[in-house]
Amino acid sequence: MVKIGTRGSALAVAQAAEVRARLMAAHGMPEEAFEIVIISTSGDQIQDRPLSQAGGKGLFTKEIEEALIDGRIDLAVHSSKDMPTVLPDGLEISAFLEREDVRDVFIGRSVASLGSLPQGAKLGTSSLRRQALVLRLRPDLEVGMFRGNVQTRLRKLEEGVAEGTLLALAGLKRLGVAHIASEIMDPERFPPALGQGAICIESRIGDRRIGPMVAAIHHTATGFALACERAFLAALDGSCRTPIAGLARIDGDGLRFSGLILTPDGRETHDIAAEGRTAEAARIGADAGAAIRQKAGARFFDGWS
């Protein structure tokens, strides 16, 4: 029996089922060989404040990692963008699935694009990155907190709590609701979160059964992109209070990275571009992180409270 740990949201469960399907196909295993174990995390429980004020990164992973360490589960399925850059001792990211569409989408209640929202309209998001990127384009908008999983946010939109919201297209696709997107945001103008669209598998280092099993479904190019993006994030401390965006694209054995940091009001931005060989993915990301840190100055990373 292989116990797959995941959060309980519809998106998280869909991701776990996707990993299960890939393992079944790769190894000719029956569905009965797997058990999907749902684990509630602090990130799921805290609904009344932005995650940036609740301790930031790791809120969606801590309890799942404890279950891995305890042996209650054998592998954990995560959205890479919710993963801290530093993992607990004894655990590793052992595989990435092929990345889904990396772009964000705008969903309007009654308008078809971000640009056509009326002056001063309310936009719901709890992501500091989306807040900053949206205010850079539309400083007139009122950006309000919009917590909860994808379904909850869509329900709030329907109820009229906001006139529009922004979500990852990857999540909508996995939930089978990509058609509700009003506008797909151009990643040049509206870069995704580091790791967006990539499902990863976390497991115990040295696990001789799970290691080779998940290695068979690892997607190499996504692995390089994520090595770069995670090194960039790590170089910036991954502070949840600094809006950060960026994307590594792979072309053969070449890699191109672009990263962006912003003030939460979107008024000040610093960007960085770098390229090199995939074999140097992590170094390219780390160097880009150091360079953008230099450009922006320490003030940028002291937190905005």
Annotated catalytic residues are: 82
Q: Which is nearer to ligand PBG, 8 or 211 (CB)?
A: 8
The phi, psi pair for 125, rounded to 5°, reads -160, 155
Q: Which is nearer to ligand PBG, 36 or 296 (CB)?
A: 36
Which of 167, 185, 262, 296 touches ligand PBG (CB under 6 A)? 167
Q: Which is nearer to ligand PBG, 55 or 118 (CB)?
A: 55
Which of 58, 84, 108, 171 touches ligand PBG (CB under 6 A)? 171
> What's the full length of the chain, in residues?
305
What is the pattern of x (binds ligand PBG, CB under 6 A) and - over residues 75-114?
Answer: ----x-xx--------------------------------
Is residue 170 a contact point for ligand PBG (CB under 6 A)? yes
The phi, psi pair for 202, rounded to 5°, reads -110, 140
Is residue 61 a contact point for ligand PBG (CB under 6 A)? no
The whole-angstrom separation of Cα 138 and Cα 22 is: 41
Query: Residue 7 region, left (φ>0) first, then alpha (ψ -120 to 50), else beta?
Result: beta
Burial (Cβ within 10 Å: 0-12, 13-18, ≥19) of residue 110: exposed
Q: Which is nearer to ligand PBG, 226 or 262 (CB)?
A: 226
Return the ∠ at Cα 223 (arms to 176 and 29), rounded to 5°: 60
Site residues, ligand PBG (CB under 6 A): 79, 81-82, 150, 167-168, 170-171, 196-197
